[in-house]
Amino acid sequence: MSTKRESNFLADVDLTREKLVNRLFYGTLVVASVFGLVMLVLLIADVLWEATQALSTFDIDIGNFLTGTSSSRAEQAGFGASILASLWLMALTAVLAFFIAVGCAVYLVEYAPENRTTRLIEANLANLAGVPSIVYGLLVLALIVNDAGLGSVILAGAIALALLIVPIIIVATIESIRAVPSSVRDGSYAMGATKWQTIRRVVLPQAMPGILTGTILALARAIGETAPLIMVGTMLHATRYPSGPLSSFSAMPTQIYNWTYQADRMFNGLAALGIVVLLLFLVAMYALAGYLRNRYETDDGSISNV
């Protein structure tokens, strides 16, 4: 980079050591990233390989697979009832978790007194997000399924998943709300807006892209969760389409799980196909989250410039 003339001026600056450290550090980072990337590619390749193997080995009708119900006979088993159950689960989980989490985050940031208790609660949200998901399953099994007598229905599963992701959404929402510059809030208050008007008309709209992104990413985690649903209790084979929140069900991950330990090898093939479908859902959700983030990023940028 430096020309001859410059190097005369900079002759007394020796950067050899720093440059070496830089290169070493850079190398470490590259190795770490490549490792993650390689694992991801291996995983996807394995899943796709299994799925193509299944398609070529067994006589699987894709149409029936995507729309049919599962069955104890592998030749007739489909994934449709599980896909529908997962959609129901996601919808209910999203509604339950979103409103509770956003309400909680708004309270914590805007209304809660700034004291020890508030700080303690906030600090522990991250811990709550790390609780093993099976614990939420157990809780719902005891309280909702048995005590409240709701039974092993979609709503019970949704409550378990909602409990699981509420802390994640709260953390994302708190960050998005805090990121709204105080100058904009001041602008609203100075116009004679009340606190609630300021929150509803200025703070929440501006935080919404971040909140939605956080919610979708949390749902992407929930859609693959198996343990809490097994705890809540699901059907071995989703032999019926769920008709509503109070139907018994087996969602995508539990159906895949159940298929994998069947003796009939064809069920294992179906499981491989099911995983591909589940992954497609995940990719779609990540894409949506990424789209939201990019779409609003430019706006955020110009706000922080002011």
Partner 1 sequence: MSSNTTNERTTGESTSETEGLSDDTIIETDISVGPDSSRTTGRPNTIVSADSLDVYYGDDRALSDVTIEIPEHRVTAMIGPSGCGKSTFLRSINRMNDRIPSAHVDGALSFRGKNVYDEDVDPVALRRKIGQVFQSPNPFPKSIYDNVAYGLRVQGKADDVDLDDAVERALRGAALWDEVKDQLDESGLDLSGGQQQRLCIARAIATDPEVILMDEPTSALDPVAASKIEDLIDELVEKYTVIIVTHNMQQAARISDKTAVFLTGGELVEFDDTARIFENPDDDRVEDYITGKFG
C-alpha 222/C-alpha 208 separation (Å) is 21
DSSP structure string for 145-191: IIIS---S-HHHHHHHHHHHHHHHHHHHHHHHHHTS-HHHHHHHHHT
Nearer to partner 1, 108 or 219 (CB): 108
- Distance in Å, CB of 101 to partner 1, minimum: 22
**Residues of the shown chain interacting with partner 1 in the complex, contacts defined by CB under 8 A:** 111, 114, 181, 183-184, 186-197, 201-202, 205-206, 299, 302-303, 306
Helix, strand, coil fractions of the chain, as percent rounded to 5 = 75, 0, 25
Q: Would you state the structure tokens that stand for residue 299, as one six-digit string?
A: 């706006």
Nearer to partner 1, 171 or 180 (CB): 180
- Distance in Å, CB of 43 to partner 1, minimum: 40
- Distance in Å, CB of 186 to partner 1, minimum: 7
Scanning the structure block, which residue is given the tokens 């309270």?
Answer: 107
- Distance in Å, CB of 102 to partner 1, minimum: 18
- Distance in Å, CB of 223 to partner 1, minimum: 32
Nearer to partner 1, 1 or 190 (CB): 190
C-alpha 301/C-alpha 306 separation (Å) is 9
Nearer to partner 1, 167 or 210 (CB): 210
Nearer to partner 1, 109 or 153 (CB): 109
Phi-psi region of 14 (alpha: psi -120 to 50; beta: other; left: phi over 0): beta
C-alpha 131/C-alpha 165 separation (Å) is 10
